């Protein structure tokens, strides 16, 4: 498997992420039900701490953050803060995919399929999911069950 090189969380981000996992919005819950199954072998995390931010969803292998934006993201200084967040993530090698919450509520399965296709397009060619197959149980565990490589 690929080395996880996600940006490290800042102090307090992990605690905040744990709290947010318990208080996910309806669109996030609906989408998580589809993404947690690792569709097409692509692994996602929910409410993932990264720097001072907590990402709604994160695919480490594809270096992809997925943000579900409700109406609150349209007003005030929120668009500017979102742009700063996206710029910081880009500086860390992570692309952000922003999806309106209304799209998730309208057709969650279609949104999930789009996310999976986009994530797969960003995977390295040697990644098991890039060939359209799920990783074997051994690959999913990150190596060999005995701790030794085969002869």
Residue numbers of the domain that contains 76: 13-141
Distance CA 81, CA 100 (A): 16
Distance CA 95, CA 127 (A): 18
What is the number of structural domains in the chain?
A: 1
Q: Would you say residue 147 lies in a domain?
A: no
What does the chain come to in residues? 151
Q: Would you say residue 6 lies in a domain?
A: no
pLDDT tens sequence across 89-132: 999 999 999 999 999 999 999 999 999 999 999 987 666 665 55
Residues whose CB falls within 8 Å of the CB of residue 121, separated by 6 or more in sequence, listed in order: none
Nearest alpha carbon to residue 5 among 44, 50, 52: 50
Q: Would you say residue 149 lies in a domain?
A: no
Decide: 55 and 67 in contact? Cβ < 8 Å: yes
Nearest alpha carbon to residue 56 among 47, 64, 45: 47
pTM of the full structure: 0.71
Q: Would you say residue 2 lies in a domain?
A: no
Q: Would you say residue 5 lies in a domain?
A: no
pLDDT tens sequence across 3-58: 456 677 666 666 766 676 677 889 999 999 999 999 888 999 998 888 889 899 99
Q: Would you say residue 150 lies in a domain?
A: no
Distance CA 43, CA 116 (A): 10
**Domain CATH number, residue 50:** 3.40.960.10
């Amino acid at each position: 498997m690929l080395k996880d090189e996600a940006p490290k969380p800042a102090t307090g981000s992990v605690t905040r992420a744990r709290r947010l996992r318990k208080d996910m919005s309806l669109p996030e819950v609906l989408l998580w039900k589809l993404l947690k199954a690792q569709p097409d072998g692509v692994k996602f995390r929910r409410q993932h701490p990264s720097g001072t931010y907590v990402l709604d969803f994160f695919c480490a292998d594809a270096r992809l953050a997925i943000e579900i934006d409700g109406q609150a993201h349209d007003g005030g200084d929120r668009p500017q803060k979102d742009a700063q967040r996206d710029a910081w993530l880009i500086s860390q090698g992570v692309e952000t995919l922003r999806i309106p919450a209304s799209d998730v509520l309208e057709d969650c399965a279609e949104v999930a399929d789009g996310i999976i296709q986009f994530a797969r397009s960003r995977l390295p060619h040697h990644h098991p999911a890039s060939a359209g197959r799920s990783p074997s149980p051994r690959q999913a565990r990150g190596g060999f069950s005995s701790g030794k490589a085969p002869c």
